[in-house]
Chains A and B, each alone.
Chain A
Amino acid sequence: MTTANSVAGPKGLSLHQQRQRAAFWFLAPMLIALFCVAAWPLLRTVWFSFTDTSLNDLNGGKWIGFDNYLKIRTLESGKVIYRGTLVDPAWWNAVWNTVRFSVVSVVCETVIGLIIALVLNAEFKGRGLVRAAILIPWAIPTIVSAKMWAWMLNDQYGIINDIGMNLGLLTEKVAWTANTDTAMYAVLMVDIWKTAPFMALLCLAGLQMVPRDIYEAAKIDGINPVKVFFKITLPLIRPALMVAVIFRMLDALRVFDLIYVLTPNSAATKTMSVISRENLIDFDKFAYGSAQSTLLFAILAVFVALYIWLGKVDLSGESGK
């Protein structure tokens, strides 16, 4: 700072201060836009969750404190009852569904994505074409792929049942999305189909950063390929992999469209987003739904914080290269 101060510019500002000021003005439009589309709706939702607002009158809500989250009432008989989202079994069922969905889908997508990336990283003819082709599931809008899969999984006309029956894998047609035992698997399958290519792409980017000469050295030393993968490839692409997993985790925890379109609206597949939307819009419980949305945000934040802390993920990109 002392050196910067010695080259004071116009208006008595140091070069460093001038730069900071310029940077601020360049960033301002972006910050304003972010505030409008991200911070403001978020804060407003948090505010709604502490009121008794209804969707018919958005500005008429009164402050009711934490009642939407947890309300303890003592009845005249002396019995104490608990109400609110935090003791709502439907909410915790949705949380459990979401967490289960997220963990299974992200783990499968990472493994499959990594395998695809390793294949695509190899030199072969037509690699560019294959790379482009593999991204198609990711490029299709979720709503379209959900509808498409809904037809493919249809119990009467669906191609999946048809193939299964013809190959003798199924003895009778299965109602994939209607049956509560298989509905979650159907959702997981479609989600993995859709997002594994995205993981593959991120992993591939990581793989291409690994210097080729390390592999050559390993080859000369005659180290077996499995060991090469675990000792060289995996540690080197770990930073890219960790970031990719965060992206997917954030996405998976707020899953909505796929489940809403693909499955009947049953407790077996309802996620946090689905249940909070239901309260916000379908039911006359806007504030209660806001409380659930706020909790969804809090759970997401906790997940990411834990992950960054436990995985020592470096999101700033500053630590030792």
Chain B
Amino acid sequence: MSFGFKGRALRSAAVAAMVAASGSPVLADEIFYVSGAVGNAVENFVNLVKPWEEATGHKVTLVPMPASTSDQFGQYRLWLAAGATDIDLYQTDVIWAPQLADHFVDLTEVAKDLAPTHFPSIIESQTVAGKLVALPIFTDAPALYYRKDLLEKYGVAVPKTWDELTVAAQTVQDGERAAGKGDFWGFVWQGNAYEGLTCNALEWVKSFGGGQIVEPDGTISINNENAAKALDTVKGWVGTISPEGVLAYQEEEARGVWQTGNAAFMRNWPYAYGLGNGADSAVKDLFGVTTLPVGGEGNTSAATLGGWNVAVSKYSQHQEAAISLAMYLAGPEAQKQRAINESNLPTIVALYDDADIAASQPIIPQWKDVFLNAVPRPSAPTLGKYNEVSAKFWSAVHETLSGNGTAAENLELLEADLTELKGEAW
């Protein structure tokens, strides 16, 4: 890679000189941390690692990547396949562990005291064949964002089912448009054909009682009436309560519409909470969050389990420093700072009862409920084929929402494709 090679050499020389001057025996390493960047991620990271840098004398540089997880995965896979030494730490999505396990250092031994303080299910998701591939740094579970002021203005209750949401969104949208806001929309979400659509669609399907695409035992369950009903409901939103362009939206596009005050509801991850209450936000203090609606009576709300972890590259030449940083980022101090500054959900159980977090981000203790409803994507049963399963699923959903074939037809085709992909076993 070309970036900062000269700068790297110069800076390490400068650091070395400083260390020599102060007479400290510590050998300072410069390490590189790669991560997708949304919102204020880059600034926040600098503040986050400052205490660690001061304590160890090492220096860490963030290499920002595009926000799309699918794009990040492609690039990381290439770097890792090539055994690139330029990157020491990777911030990995919760679903990647089985696919990239071979390239990362086993952290079981170093984290034997830290790991038990985290949610066991998350640690389990990062363990592949007994090897702890990555340490969780924050977890993610999306929620329904709603405009308190507008629901009050139009006398609508916070929706509990998707049908109620459809009606509520339509009411508010019609009212606001009549009041002269021509660009106002009822509900924004992520409909681009990428991993995010898999997350959105899994929530619809699951909350309609349509299963979770591939069940934990490996059976393909997606072709069923409830799933088709869920997609038909969503199809009805496109062009009515959601802009047609939602089919090209990722998280940041949805947040753009929401944060400029042009939407009544939004489905998004917790990071949008802190940013939505930022000084430059048009919806500051005007919104609340709740669990995502359900399909109907007897169904439960579903939120796709997201979350990010930090993994140490096997090819890193500064493994000791990298592991130390990974431990710091996964530890209580950094997770607390992340929760307060970026409204990221901690993975350390005790932090949900932390008074400072409750004071600055009152939503986080409440998010524990959302998190308890979280459904995992089928990355565990489908192993190395997960990406293809996910791509086939999001394509089928995107086709349906774009009006190419009905939900029932596309799900039947999807089932056939997945059965073929599965072969004898996943």
Interfacial residues of chain B within 261-285, with CB under 8 A of chain A in the complex: 262
- Shortest Cβ gap from B407 to chain A (Å): 16
Interfacial residues of chain B within 223-263, with CB under 8 A of chain A in the complex: 243-249, 253, 256-257, 262
Residues of A within 8 A of B391 (CB): 278, 282-283
CB within 8 A of A283: which of B103, B249, B388?
Answer: B388
- Whether A175 and B385, one on each chain, are in contact in the complex, defined by CB atoms closer than 8 angstroms, is no
Does B73 interact with chain A (Cβ within 8 Å)? yes
Does B74 interact with chain A (Cβ within 8 Å)? yes
Asked, given contacts A179-B244, A284-B384, whether A156 binds B183 with beta carbons under 8 Å apart, the answer is yes
CB within 8 A of A156: which of B74, B243, B384?
Answer: B243
State A178–B246 Cα separation when bound (angstroms).
7
Does A154 interact with chain B (Cβ within 8 Å)? yes
- Whether A264 and B387, one on each chain, are in contact in the complex, defined by CB atoms closer than 8 angstroms, is no
Interface string of A147-172 (1 = CB under 8 A from B): 00000001111000000000000000
Does B41 interact with chain A (Cβ within 8 Å)? no
- Whether A178 and B81, one on each chain, are in contact in the complex, defined by CB atoms closer than 8 angstroms, is no
- Whether A266 and B398, one on each chain, are in contact in the complex, defined by CB atoms closer than 8 angstroms, is yes
Total of A-B residue pairs, C-beta within 8 Å: 89
A residues lining the B interface (CB < 8 Å): 55-56, 58, 154-157, 173-175, 177-180, 263-268, 277-278, 281-285
- Whether B70 and A156, one on each chain, are in contact in the complex, defined by CB atoms closer than 8 angstroms, is no
Asked, given contacts A180-B402, A264-B194, whether A284 binds B248 with beta carbons under 8 Å apart, the answer is no
State A289–B173 Cα separation when bound (angstroms).
46
State A157–B102 Cα separation when bound (angstroms).
44
- Whether A265 and B245, one on each chain, are in contact in the complex, defined by CB atoms closer than 8 angstroms, is no
- Shortest Cβ gap from B310 to chain A (Å): 21
Residues of A within 8 A of B385 (CB): 283-284
Does B406 interact with chain A (Cβ within 8 Å)? no
State A173–B243 Cα separation when bound (angstroms).
9
Does B412 interact with chain A (Cβ within 8 Å)? no
CB within 8 A of A177: which of B73, B248, B256, B387?
Answer: B248
Residues of A within 8 A of B192 (CB): 178, 264-265
Chain B: interface residue total (CB-CB under 8 A): 36
A-B contact pairs, 30 of them (CB 8 A): A56-B81, A56-B103, A58-B81, A154-B253, A155-B244, A155-B245, A156-B183, A156-B256, A173-B243, A175-B245, A177-B245, A178-B192, A178-B249, A179-B244, A263-B248, A264-B193, A264-B194, A264-B398, A265-B193, A266-B193, A266-B398, A266-B402, A277-B74, A281-B74, A282-B70, A282-B74, A282-B387, A283-B385, A283-B391, A284-B387
Interface string of B63-82 (1 = CB under 8 A from A): 00000001001100110010
State A157–B245 Cα separation when bound (angstroms).
11
Asked, given contacts A58-B81, A156-B183, A173-B243, whether A178 binds B388 with beta carbons under 8 Å apart, the answer is no
State A157–B191 Cα separation when bound (angstroms).
18
Residues of B within 8 A of A177 (CB): 245, 248
State A277–B391 Cα separation when bound (angstroms).
13
Does B117 interact with chain A (Cβ within 8 Å)? no
- Whether B102 and A175, one on each chain, are in contact in the complex, defined by CB atoms closer than 8 angstroms, is no
- Which partner residue on chain A sits nearest B66 by CB separation? A261
State A178–B403 Cα separation when bound (angstroms).
12
- Shortest Cβ gap from B282 to chain A (Å): 14
Residues of A within 8 A of B404 (CB): 180, 267
CB within 8 A of B245: which of A58, A178, A180?
Answer: A178
- Which partner residue on chain B sits nearest A182 by CB separation? B244
Residues of A within 8 A of B74 (CB): 277, 281-282
- Whether B245 and A156, one on each chain, are in contact in the complex, defined by CB atoms closer than 8 angstroms, is yes
Does B99 interact with chain A (Cβ within 8 Å)? yes
Does B395 interact with chain A (Cβ within 8 Å)? yes
- Shortest Cβ gap from A185 to chain B (Å): 14
Asked, given contacts A55-B77, A173-B243, A179-B402, whether A285 binds B193 with beta carbons under 8 Å apart, the answer is no
A154-B245, A157-B256, A277-B74 are known; give 14 further A-B pairs, CB within 8 A. Answer: A55-B77, A155-B245, A156-B257, A173-B245, A175-B248, A177-B248, A178-B248, A266-B402, A267-B395, A281-B78, A282-B70, A282-B388, A283-B387, A283-B391
State A174–B248 Cα separation when bound (angstroms).
12
State A56–B103 Cα separation when bound (angstroms).
9
State A177–B387 Cα separation when bound (angstroms).
24
State A265–B387 Cα separation when bound (angstroms).
14
Asked, given contacts A178-B248, A264-B193, A266-B193, whether A155 binds B243 with beta carbons under 8 Å apart, the answer is yes
Q: Which 9 A-B pairs have the closest CB atoms?
A: A155-B245, A175-B245, A178-B248, A178-B247, A175-B244, A265-B193, A283-B388, A264-B192, A264-B193
State A268–B401 Cα separation when bound (angstroms).
13
- Shortest Cβ gap from A164 to chain B (Å): 14
- Shortest Cβ gap from B20 to chain A (Å): 42
State A175–B191 Cα separation when bound (angstroms).
12
Asked, given contacts A156-B183, A266-B399, whether A175 binds B247 with beta carbons under 8 Å apart, the answer is yes
Residues of A within 8 A of B193 (CB): 264-266
Interface string of B392-412 (1 = CB under 8 A from A): 000100110011100000000
- Whether A281 and B77, one on each chain, are in contact in the complex, defined by CB atoms closer than 8 angstroms, is yes
State A283–B73 Cα separation when bound (angstroms).
10
State A269–B194 Cα separation when bound (angstroms).
14
